[in-house]
Amino acid sequence: MTERSIQNALYGMLNYQRHHKYITPNVCNVMPWECDLISVTPAGFINEFEIKLSKYDYKADFKKRIKHEALSEALKNPTSLWVRPTYFWYVIFGFQVDVPDYAGLMIADDGHYRIRFEEIKRAPRLSKRLINNKQKETLYRGVYWRFWQKRIDEKGGMEI
């Protein structure tokens, strides 16, 4: 199982079962840190999914002090000015962990035909803020840029 296969399976679950929109992998500049996957609910709430494939990788994530301080602060003070998601999730495969109070936990399971997710701990609400226009623009720009990069790479360069 890879991060990409989990992202693809999360996309399917979030899009078809939970009806999220703006489901985007490998996002920078929406949060003050890189995100493995972001989705936005129809109501405008941001979900961040951090995918971990090993216990070592999970433990290494806590070296990102600014991120975890912001998430911890958000749980204590949902109206603070820190930029953070509404919900923060760890998605793991192949090991068990206890997640911090500010995080939800899903376990990926590679079933016979497709990856399934078991929600072990529901993510608490960290913010009441909705996605803003700048964050939406960042998501759009990232997808737009990736589309054009792939298109240009397939053709072997730009025709001028």
Q: What is the C-alpha to C-alpha distance for residues 152 and 158, in angstroms, rounded to an integer?
A: 6
Residue 8, CA distances (Å) to 24, 47, 153 in order: 10, 16, 22
Q: What is the C-alpha to C-alpha distance for residues 45 and 129, in angstroms, rounded to an integer?
A: 7
The position carrying tokens 């226009």 is 133
CATH architecture of 3-155: 3-Layer(aba) Sandwich (3.40)
Mean pLDDT for 84-113 is 93
Residue with the larger pLDDT of the pair 145 and 16: 16
The position carrying tokens 């001028």 is 160
Q: Which pLDDT belongs to residue 157?
A: 64
Range scoring the smallest mean pLDDT among 41-45, 88-92, 105-109, 153-157: 153-157
Question: Hey, how many other C-beta atoms are within 10 angstroms of the C-beta on 43?
Answer: 8
Task: Identify the burial level of 108 via C-beta atoms within 10 angstroms of its C-beta, where 0-12 means exposed, 13-18 middle and 19 or more buried.
Answer: buried
Could you tell me the residue ranges of all domains in the chain?
Answer: 3-155
Band of pLDDT at residue 25, cut at 50, 70 and 90: very high
Band of pLDDT at residue 46, cut at 50, 70 and 90: very high
- Scored b (16 or more CB within 10 A) or e, 148-158 reads eeeeeeeeeee
Per-residue pLDDT reduced to its tens digit, 54-87: 999 999 999 999 899 989 988 888 776 667 899 9
Per-residue pLDDT reduced to its tens digit, 110-150: 877 789 999 999 999 998 888 888 888 888 888 888 888 88
Q: Which pLDDT belongs to residue 28?
A: 82
Band of pLDDT at residue 160, cut at 50, 70 and 90: low
